[in-house]
Structure 1
Amino acid sequence: MDAPNTTQLETLVHRQLRECSPIFLALADPIRQDIIMLLTKHDSLNVAQIVERSPMSRSAISHHLKILKQANLVQAAKVATEIYYSLDIEEAVRHLKDFIATTERIIEMKTAGAE
């Protein structure tokens, strides 16, 4: 096993893990999971529409949407006086796939080195 390659990959996977952390944190909450699921069924929803479909208060939903937005899982678009939220997960999925691919390469290298 080539130590510099493993070290480089470990550095890369560490950076990727840091990039994925906001995604993991955002998806860890059941309320945010419910919001994501709602947005998979609708092109976009405003806060009032999400509140109608949730037991949570408007302020709680707004808080959860802020976290999802910070994790780049939803985007907001203002239409007249309302803000509509929609899924925007392509970048997050790319980060997660890159993290998994690098992790798999490290495992393969370590497995090959143990043989």
Structure 2
Amino acid sequence: MPLFIALGDEVRLTIIEVLANACIKKQTELCGMNVNEITDKTSLSRPAISHHLRILKEAGLVSSRQEGTANYYFLTFGESTKRLCTLGQYLQNYMDQV
């Protein structure tokens, strides 16, 4: 499942933390960071950040919007959270039957 692959990497968790902190500091609906800003907050190269952002996007944890020539990335947990809850309910039902 792409969600578990995305969450199973320390670098991607760091990117999630950086994006979350940016939203907390900006306290606006349209929070987000571009690749250069994320690179400044981590020890990774721009290509590495882009690679990890693609994996996070595929898992539904991050989305992006374009402003001029830059893409701004922000967290989107809604659908991923629903899938995790569904999995938890399935596992709970299974355990109740055992």
Common topology (TM > 0.5) = yes
Q: What percent of counterpart residues are identical?
A: 36
Residue of structure 2 equivalent to 1:32:
12
How far off is 1:69 after superposition?
0.4
* Structure 1 unaligned regions, length at least 5: 1-20, 111-115
More moved, 35-44 vs 90-99 = 35-44
> What corresponds to 1:52 in structure 2?
40
Counterparts of residues 4-43 of structure 1 (less than 5 Å): 21-42=1-22, 43=31
> Any gaps of 5 or more consecutive residues in structure 2?
23-30
Write the letter of the residue equivalent to 2:85.
K
CA-based RMSD of the aligned residues comes to: 0.6
After superposing on structure 2, the runs of 4+ consecutive aligned residues of structure 1 that deviate more than 6 Å are none
- 2: distance between equivalents of 1:52 and 1:83? 16
* C-alpha displacement of 1:41: 1.2
Q: Which has the higher contact order (CA 8 A, sep 6+)?
A: 1
Which residue identity is paired with 1:40?
A: A
TM-score normalised by structure 2 residue count:
0.89
| TM-score, structure 1 normalization | 0.77
Larger radius of gyration: 1
Instruction: Output the amino acid matched with 1:39.
Output: L
Q: Which has the larger share of helix?
A: 1
Distance (whole Å) between structure 1 residues aligned to residue 39 and residue 92 of structure 2 = 40
Is 2:77 aligned against 1:93?
A: no
Q: Deviations over 1:33-53 (max 9, x none)?
A: 000011111221000000000
